[in-house]
C-alpha cells in the first residue's frame, strides 16, 4: 500500500496545479507549478566582451539560452548550444578548453566570455578569458558562438 501516498500526492499535485493555473488569472501567480515542475530548469545568459576579467570587460554581446523544455532563447543557434552543453553534461570548462587546431599569433587582445544562470537546476557562474579572437575560435564552441 506504500504506493498510495505517492499516488495521492500526484493527484493532489494535479489538482493544485489546475488551481494554480486558474489562480494565475488573479494577481497572485502560480508559485509552485510553473511548467509543471517536471524538469530541472536550464536558463542561461551568456556574454562576450573585450577585456581581461568579468569585472572590467565591456560587454559587447549578450544572449539568453533555455534548454528545457525545448532549446530556445536569443542565442542564434539554441539547438546547437544546448546539444553541446548536454554532450558535456553542462561543463563549460570543456567548451572553452577545446583543443585549438588553429595557428594563432600570441598577441594579447583578450576577450572574456561569461555564462550565468542555471544548468539543470544547478547554479552556474562561469568566466573564461581568451588571449585573442583567434584562440577563441575553437573554444567558443556552439555555446559562445553568437
Binding site residues, a copy of itself, CB under 8 A: 28-29, 31-32, 34-35, 37, 41-45, 47, 54, 58-66, 72-74, 76, 116-118, 121-123, 125, 133, 137, 145-146
- Cβ proximity to a copy of itself, 11 vs 37, nearer residue: 37
- Cβ proximity to a copy of itself, 4 vs 42, nearer residue: 42
In the DSSP assignment, the letter for residue 35 is G
Say if residue 130 is exposed, middle or buried (CB neighbours under 10 Å; 0-12, 13-18, 19+). buried
To a copy of itself, the closest distance from the beta carbon of 78 in angstroms equals 11
To a copy of itself, the closest distance from the beta carbon of 2 in angstroms equals 25
Alpha carbons 141 and 137: distance in angstroms, whole number: 8
To a copy of itself, the closest distance from the beta carbon of 119 in angstroms equals 10
* Residue 126 cell numbers, joined: 562561469
- Cβ proximity to a copy of itself, 100 vs 122, nearer residue: 122
Closest CA to 126 of 45, 39, 62, 40: 45
To a copy of itself, the closest distance from the beta carbon of 1 in angstroms equals 29
Identify whether the C-beta of residue 124 lies closer than 8 Å to the C-beta of residue 118. Answer: yes
* Residue 130 cell numbers, joined: 581568451
Q: What's the length of the chain?
A: 146
Amino acid at each position: 500500500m506504500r504506493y498510495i501516498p505517492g499516488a495521492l500526492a500526484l493527484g493532489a499535485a494535479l489538482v493544485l496545479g489546475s488551481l494554480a493555473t486558474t489562480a494565475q488569472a488573479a494577481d497572485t501567480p502560480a508559485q509552485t507549478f510553473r511548467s509543471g515542475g517536471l524538469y530541472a530548469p536550464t536558463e542561461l545568459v551568456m556574454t562576450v566582451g573585450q577585456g581581461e576579467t568579468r569585472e572590467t570587460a565591456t560587454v559587447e554581446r549578450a544572449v539568453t539560452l533555455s534548454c528545457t523544455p525545448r532549446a530556445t532563447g536569443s542565442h542564434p543557434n539554441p539547438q546547437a548550444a544546448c546539444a553541446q552543453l548536454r554532450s558535456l553534461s553542462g561543463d563549460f570548462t570543456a567548451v572553452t578548453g577545446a583543443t585549438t587546431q588553429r595557428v594563432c599569433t600570441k598577441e594579447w587582445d583578450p576577450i572574456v566570455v561569461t555564462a550565468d544562470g542555471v544548468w539543470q537546476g544547478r547554479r552556474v557562474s562561469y568566466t573564461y578569458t581568451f588571449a585573442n579572437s583567434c584562440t577563441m575560435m575553437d573554444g567558443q564552441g556552439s555555446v559562445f558562438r553568437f
